[in-house]
Amino acid sequence: MRKSLMILALLVASPPALAGGEFAVHTTEVADKKAVIATVEPVHQLVARARIGGTIATLDVKEGDSAAAGAQIAVVADPKLVLEMQGLDSRIQSLQSQRDKAKADFDRAVELQRRGVSTQVQLDAAKTALDVAERTLAAMGSDRDVVAQRMSEGAVLAPGAGRVLTVPVSEGSVVLPGETIATLAEDRYILRLQLPERHARFMRAGDAVQIGARGLEDEGAKREGRVRLVYPEIEGGRVIADVEVPGLGDYFVGERTRAYVSTGVRRAIIVPRAYVYRRAGVDYAKLADGSEVVVQLGAVQDSNVEILAGLKDGDALVSP
């Protein structure tokens, strides 16, 4: 079984070496690193929704596609809007004819008054009829613009650039206003950690986090990320934190990987690996007086190794 706790020694300075190649054993502070499982998540999950009700006429994306901000995801068509637009066009044509007649009557009334064969009352009535016709035509044009705007809102647009995660509808599906057409993951990804609440006091924004190789294996080079945000709410006994790591764009959303977070500081014995040797399956260290002691090794970092048992503070080692 893989160890759930991995201790990485952080040496402030190399322990002093004695004369003649001897090494002085001293305890030093090391940071405990806990191995946890992190999940790749988008910083924001975007939802493309239908703005009008109707039927999906065209669907332009599928799961896994990349979409630019403002790109068309689908088109929702409502046949009733087309019929309403045709009815408004007919009424506008009728009102235009009425407006033209009112304009001709007004011009005739102006000419008759100029000749002195018409009264001011007749002129005012013709002017009023013309104003009513023009304003009715303008109001009908506004109603047509409203319907045209509703028809244009049938185009479902991507709210931002990202990768399409789910498309829960298909062509021909009936949708209502506000219904989800597609879910997108924003191009920017983070690692989301869920830690037991006892570790909450150790997590701070800006802390370094070691990220293992892709997948859940311990092997492979590690890279470093930084804690972006520690959420102030504990859910189900766990504190949630987001870690920014460069180069997560080719990961799958929801993919898991191993991360190592600091869970405190303790004192330990760290010695260079060269002062420990192995014989018959057992690890030894040689003291300055010539005696050999059996040691139990811990985590290895670079050229140093932690000694869990066998040595004490003040011992002097010699190279085997």
pLDDT tens profile 261-284: 877 777 888 888 888 888 888 888
Residues 251 and 277 in one domain: yes
Give residue 319's pLDDT: 81
Range of the domain at 174: 45-78+154-186
| Other C-beta atoms lying within 10 Å of the C-beta of residue 111 | 11
Q: Lowest mean pLDDT: which of 95-109, 166-180, 204-218, 231-245?
A: 204-218
Total tally of structural domains belonging to the chain: 3
Looking at 162, 186, 210, which one is the last position of a domain?
186
The span from the CA of 282 to the CA of 293, in Å, is: 10
State what percent of residues in the chain have pLDDT above 90.
Answer: 32
Q: Check pLDDT > 90 for residue 32.
A: no
The span from the CA of 57 to the CA of 173, in Å, is: 8
CATH number for the domain including 163? Answer: 2.40.50.100
CATH number for the domain including 83? Answer: 1.10.287
More confident: 233 or 107 = 107
Give residue 5's pLDDT: 36
Residues 34 and 133 in one domain: no
CATH number for the domain including 210? Answer: 2.40.30.170
Average pLDDT over residues 8-14: 34
Residues 172 and 198 in one domain: no
The span from the CA of 213 to the CA of 257, in Å, is: 7
Average pLDDT over residues 189-205: 82
Average pLDDT over residues 25-53: 85
What angle in degrees, to the nearest 10, is found between the helix axes of 79-115 and 120-152? 160
Residues 218 and 251 in one domain: yes
Q: Check pLDDT > 70 for residue 75.
A: yes
Point out which residues pair with 24 in neighbouring strands: 316
Looking at 108, 130, 152, which one is the last position of a domain?
152
Residues 159 and 237 in one domain: no
Residues 197 and 281 in one domain: yes
Residue 95 pLDDT class (50, 70, 90 cuts): very high
Q: How far is CA 258 from CA 154, 192, 222, 223, 230, in A?
A: 44, 11, 10, 11, 18
Whether the CB-CB separation of 62 and 171 falls below 8 Å is answered with: no
Average pLDDT, the chain: 83
Residues 220 and 258 in one domain: yes
Give residue 13's pLDDT: 33
Residues 129 and 224 in one domain: no
The span from the CA of 75 to the CA of 156, in Å, is: 6
More confident: 35 or 175 = 175
Q: Check pLDDT > 50 for residue 6.
A: no
Q: Lowest mean pLDDT: which of 5-9, 150-154, 172-176?
A: 5-9
Q: Check pLDDT > 90 for residue 134.
A: yes
Q: Lowest mean pLDDT: which of 9-13, 143-147, 154-158, 162-166?
A: 9-13
Q: Check pLDDT > 60 for residue 192.
A: yes
Residues 181 and 278 in one domain: no
Q: Check pLDDT > 50 for residue 7.
A: no
Tell me the two tokens of residue 7: 């201790």
Sequence-ordered list of residues with C-beta below 8 angstroms from that of 7, at least 6 positions apart, any chain: 30, 32, 33, 268, 298, 299, 306
Residues 19 and 30 in one domain: yes
Q: Check pLDDT > 50 for residue 195.
A: yes
Give residue 218's pLDDT: 55
Residues 145 and 158 in one domain: no
Give residue 146's pLDDT: 92
Residues 202 and 161 in one domain: no
In the DSSP assignment, the letter for residue 58 is E
